[in-house]
């Protein structure tokens, strides 16, 4: 461990026995248990919100989260001599969720359902998100600022319309380009079908129950993890919590108020891409989540519409538009082709799973 990190650890009331470097962080074995020290990518305000949420989850019977540890000055963020900002968090000895194992995937989905049941800001503050906040249990965080509130997620209609405009901007740029390469010709070849799909999904979203679900989620303070993927789920060996396998959920840095099934969509997409949108597994994932947290038809439609939007096609095009176009790497061409193939696989999957779809 570098001298700066050692100095940071000295700011904490923990007895460190050993450390080892991992990607972007340091594992610390301490007498208080396993911890991880990593640079803080959040503001002090965000750190306090994060700490409040994770302490609430612990007190609500969801103990295995990477809660930050306060230093001797009772601060959540510690600053090194070089002015780098660090957080020390609880950590767990376990392996990442393996998407090749169906049992891991389904347990991770059930875990998400249990997590969502506890992630309500109103349970922490005692008020809906539109009101002023008060902390119900001072033991959760006596320094809690009643004015703090997690931010709201972006409205899907706004997101889709913005992406649609950007797709047209890329199309117009490529049309006017004199010297076109393989990427440009492929983009123009696929554009019309992808843009029609994007427009169709946007229109269907406007006619769906999404608006009411979104507004209600914000008002009630329902929260999402924001980055629920297999890297952030640790399977804990030889442990059970209330008769189910124990898992630790980590890296809540992107949590916010939003429609909770968007977490499920994100995890579903990540897994399905690895399994070529296998119908039986996708259906089992939706059923596993619903066993813990039942979903309304409107929420199922939100998942379907978010999945149907050709996001990877947009992302590849947007990356191209903001890059140095003098040289287009072959990988960009592959990504464009893959995005189209995956969109076709997705649509077939959605039409089988969601009979109402498009």
Q: Verify that 145 and 40 share a domain, yes or no.
A: no
Please give the model's pTM, rounded to 2 decimal places: 0.90
Q: Verify that 13 and 106 share a domain, yes or no.
A: no
Q: Verify that 169 and 268 share a domain, yes or no.
A: yes
Helix (H/G/I), strand (E/B), else coil: 235: strand
**One digit per residue, pLDDT tens: the chain, 358 residues?**
556 667 899 999 999 998 888 877 899 999 999 999 999 989 999 999 999 999 999 999 898 999 999 999 999 999 988 888 999 999 998 999 999 999 999 999 999 999 999 999 988 876 444 443 333 333 344 455 556 789 999 999 999 999 999 999 999 999 999 999 999 999 999 999 999 999 999 999 999 999 999 999 999 999 999 999 999 999 998 766 556 678 999 999 999 999 999 999 999 999 999 999 999 999 999 999 999 999 999 999 999 999 999 999 999 999 999 987 767 778 899 999 999 999 999 999 999 998 766 5
Taking 3-state DSSP, the helix, strand and coil percentages for the chain, each rounded to the nearest 5, stand at 50, 15, 35
How many domains in the chain? 2
Instruction: Give the containing element (helix H, strand E) for 224.
Output: strand 223-224
Q: Do the Cβ atoms of 265 and 307 come closer than 8 Å?
A: yes
Rg (CA), the chain: 22
Q: Verify that 336 and 288 share a domain, yes or no.
A: yes
Q: Verify that 240 and 261 share a domain, yes or no.
A: yes
Q: Verify that 106 and 85 share a domain, yes or no.
A: no
Domain range for 306 = 94-358
Collect all residues with Cβ–Cβ distance below 8 Å to 230 and sequence separation of at least 6.
Answer: 96, 97, 98, 99, 104, 108, 267, 270, 271
Q: Do the Cβ atoms of 225 and 257 come closer than 8 Å?
A: no
Q: Indicate which CATH number applies to the domain containing 71.
A: 3.30.200.20
Q: Please say which residue of 62, 91, 120 terminates a domain.
A: 91
Paired with 21 in beta bridges are 26
DSSP state of 218: H
């Amino acid at each position: 461990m570098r001298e700066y990190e050692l100095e940071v650890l000295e700011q904490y009331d923990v007895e460190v026995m050993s450390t080892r470097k991992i990607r972007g962080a340091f594992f610390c074995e301490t007498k208080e248990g396993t911890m991880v020290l990593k640079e803080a990518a959040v503001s002090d305000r965000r750190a306090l919100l994060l700490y409040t949420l994770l302490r609430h989850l612990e007190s609500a019977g969801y103990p295995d989260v990477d809660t930050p540890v306060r230093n001797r000055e009772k601060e959540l963020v510690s600053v090194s001599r070089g002015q780098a900002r660090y957080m020390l968090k609880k950590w767990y000895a376990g392996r990442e969720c393996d998407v090749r194992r169906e049992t891991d995937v389904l347990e991770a989905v059930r875990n998400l359902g249990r997590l969502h049941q506890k992630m309500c800001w109103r349970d922490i503050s005692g008020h809906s998100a539109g009101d002023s906040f008060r902390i119900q249990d001072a033991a959760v965080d006596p320094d809690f600022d009643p004015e703090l509130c997690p931010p709201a997620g972006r409205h899907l209609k706004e997101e889709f319309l913005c992406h649609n405009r950007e797709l047209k901007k890329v199309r117009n740029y490529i049309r006017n380009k004199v010297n076109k390469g393989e990427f440009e010709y492929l983009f123009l070849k696929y554009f019309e079908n992808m843009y029609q799909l994007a427009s169709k999904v946007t229109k269907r979203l406007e006619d769906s129950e999404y608006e009411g679900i979104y507004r209600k989620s914000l008002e009630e303070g329902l929260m999402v993890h924001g980055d629920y993927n297999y890297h952030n789920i640790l399977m804990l060996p030889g442990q059970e919590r209330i008769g189910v396998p124990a898992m630790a959920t980590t890296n809540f840095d992107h949590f916010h108020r939003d429609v909770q099934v968007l977490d499920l969509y994100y995890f579903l997409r990540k897994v399905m891409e690895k399994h070529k949108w296998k119908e039986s597994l996708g259906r089992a994932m939706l059923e596993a989540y619903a066993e813990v947290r039942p979903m309304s038809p409107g929420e199922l439609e939100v998942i379907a519409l978010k999945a149907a939007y050709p996001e990877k096609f947009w992302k590849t095009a947007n990356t191209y538009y903001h890059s140095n176009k003098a040289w287009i790497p072959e990988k960009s061409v592959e990504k464009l082709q893959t995005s189209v193939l995956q969109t076709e696989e997705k649509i077939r999957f959605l039409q089988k799973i969601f009979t109402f779809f498009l």
